[in-house]
Amino acid sequence: MIYVVCAVIYREGKILIAQRSEKMKLPLKWEFPGGKLKKGENEEQAITREIKEELNIEILPFQRISSHTHDYGSLKINLIAYLCEYISGEIKLLEHLDFEFVYFEDLKGYDFAEADIPVIEKLKTLL
Ligand SMILES: Nc1nc2c([nH]c(=O)n2[C@@H]2O[C@H](COP(=O)(O)OP(=O)(O)OP(=O)(O)O)[C@@H](O)[C@H]2O)c(=O)[nH]1
């Protein structure tokens, strides 16, 4: 089981989503950016670090919105999602293929990683 934190970054009524590159696992799937928790880090530190590494921006995680496990067969993950505020920086795609800011209602038009579906369901009750 691997522990993965992901950021739902909210800005001006829209949510930041990112598309995984061909070279990553789950190629071309859309996701909430983030990554694996490292030893000695808490969840907020991990998510802040991952977003800086992947997108070059500063964010502030302010609400833990969900934590659930998903079994991909060859890989089992515990995905932990945080609602985050965009603070500063210009987005640079350092790992992903693409990104978009989308309204919640438009998320259904994107092919998300399976593990993200419960996160989207949870968001529905919050936004
Ligand atoms: N970051 C992120 N990973 C997700 C999401 N949904 C989901 O199934 N995953 C899976 O979680 C796993 C870990 O994510 P990652 O590959 O981004 O983590 P990382 O950058 O720390 O790992 P790496 O250094 O091995 O590339 C991947 O297998 C990825 O497909 C999501 O919304 N965000």
What DSSP assignment string belongs to 63-83? EEEEEEEEE-SS-EEEEEEEE
- d(CA 87, CA 34) in angstroms, rounded, equals 16
User: What is the CATH number for 31?
Assistant: 3.90.79.10
Residue 2: is its pLDDT beyond 90? yes
pLDDT band with cut points at 50, 70 and 90 for residue 113: very high
pLDDT given for residue 127 in this prediction:
79
pLDDT in tens, 34-51: 999 999 999 999 999 999
Task: Using the mean position of ligand 1's atoms as its centre, give its distance from the Cα of residue 18 in Å.
Answer: 12
Give ipTM to 2 decimals.
0.90
Q: Atom 27 (ligand 1): residue with closest C-alpha? A: 25
Task: Using the mean position of ligand 1's atoms as its centre, give its distance from the Cα of residue 3 in Å.
Answer: 9
Over residues 96-115, mean pLDDT: 97
Dihedral pair phi/psi, residue 118, rounded to 5°: -65, -30
Contact 2, 36 (CB under 8 A): yes
Among the listed residues 7, 5, 11, the one whose alpha carbon sits nearest the alpha carbon of residue 102? 11
Atom of ligand 1 minimally distant from the CA of 115: 8
Over residues 75-81, mean pLDDT: 97
Task: Using the mean position of ligand 1's atoms as its centre, give its distance from the Cα of residue 36 in Å.
Answer: 7
- d(CA 116, CA 67) in angstroms, rounded, equals 11
Task: Using the mean position of ligand 1's atoms as its centre, give its distance from the Cα of residue 90 in Å.
Answer: 22
- pTM (whole model) above 0.90: yes
Q: Give the DSSP letter of residue 112.
A: B
Q: Name the maximum alpha-carbon separation found in the chain.
A: 38
Our count of domains for the chain comes to 1
Contact 61, 48 (CB under 8 A): yes
Q: Atom 16 (ligand 1): residue with closest C-alpha? A: 35
Domain span at residue 115 reads 2-126
